[in-house]
Structure 1
Amino acid sequence: MSAQIDFLALYRELGIDPTCSPEAFKHAYRRRVSELHPDRGSEGHAGEEALKVLNLGYAAALEFFQAHGRFPGAPPAPAAARRPAPAPSAGAAATARPPRRDAGTAPPAGVAASATTAPGQRRWLSGVLVALVALVLAAQLAGRGDEGTAAPADAARAGAAAPDADDTAAGAVPALWIGMSAREALDALGTPTDTTEDGRLWHYGPSWIRLSCREVVDWYSSPLKPLGHSPMHPDGDPDPLDAERGIACLELDPAAHR
């Protein structure tokens, strides 16, 4: 129907331009209809034919505008200027919303597993990282607290007496204690990675133990390579007289007794 209509003649008859708005087009159409109405004119049969052609052109122009967003003969509108799609109603939005899924139920068939479990995995990894940082800080604070506490050497030696055989087998006591013999330390920890020339300082990586007259008098158990179940430091400072007594003692050579 649109191909048989002369839209340029229609625009000239209405006195408008094809780039006009739909409101201006309808207003011009109503004005022209009132002019061609048989009750107001004396054109007779010619006026009726002109009104019929006008109605056909009006309907065809509106149909073209609804399909293309412009009247015939007007330049195409840019993509950004085209009319947006009508917003869905409240009822349609409610029906389009995905159903709520209760906790513990399987995800819908079209939903990937990674999309539903990614937030939970991130929370689990964050919790693991926080726990690791807390453990490292606690180990550092424990080391500083042991270094800052001082007790009399005699009390430390009395409180760090050799454990009972049953307690040692059950693992309820540390692997080291003040007064532990060099042979017992060697059996418990194995051959050290390095020793000093006088044999009084045994290194186990970053950890070490100090001996005097073939007895353990001090140690450092690093968190990176701990000395069995020993604390980071013994309970109390070593006896300062151990250094003098150690001069006259022959220490055990761990390399020669393995």
Structure 2
Amino acid sequence: MTDETDFIALYGTLRVDPQCSLDDFRLAYRRYVSQWHPDRRRSPNAQRLATSRLQRVTAQYDAAIAFQRRHGRLPGAGRVVPPSIPDARRTRPRVDSVRVPRIRWRGWLTALTTGCAAAGTVLMTTLPVHVTESSAPADARGSGAGAAREVVPDLRRGMTSDQVWAIEGEPTKRGGQHWEYGTSWIRFDGDRVEDWYSSPWQPLHVASEHAPR
């Protein structure tokens, strides 16, 4: 289950950063459960949608907690390397007994420059690039040392319904050109985003309350 879980989508749904603490991660999940609990929906259709969405996020959350218990960190978080402690019992070598090799600076600098260029090329061609377009305040996107690195893009006018679904997930109510997410909504013109309203109680992934003209 852990290898097949999209943890990036989970962090975007809970609006936290992979570098956040375990307590912040648990708190974000509890808030999400409180927000999407089926008992808070009136219509049977909205209850079914809320149940499906909550089950999917709960499965992802359980996989993340299982990963944390095995590895001591959340998926995607940087590995913590403990600092090395020098052994006081070791005897320091005498300076005059250590042979210092002669360094050929020109050859060493050439090798270092070539190695850095090769490593940069490999990283640029293998690592995925996540473009951050968000300008919203950090407290609306999650907390933590890496909160500036958003993994979920903001909504923009002209986005397709598929792109909206990938960012916001399944709406609680669909009405033709009008999607509702609790107290927030998104309006389409054809299959393109025309306007939205982001409620402070159930905000969307946007930087402003309405779509800028």
Q: Please give the range of the TM-score, normalised by the shorter of the 2 chains.
A: 0.3 to 0.5
Pair member with larger Rg: 1
Greater relative CO (CA pairs within 8 A, separation 6+): 2
TM-score with structure 2 length normalisation?
A: 0.36
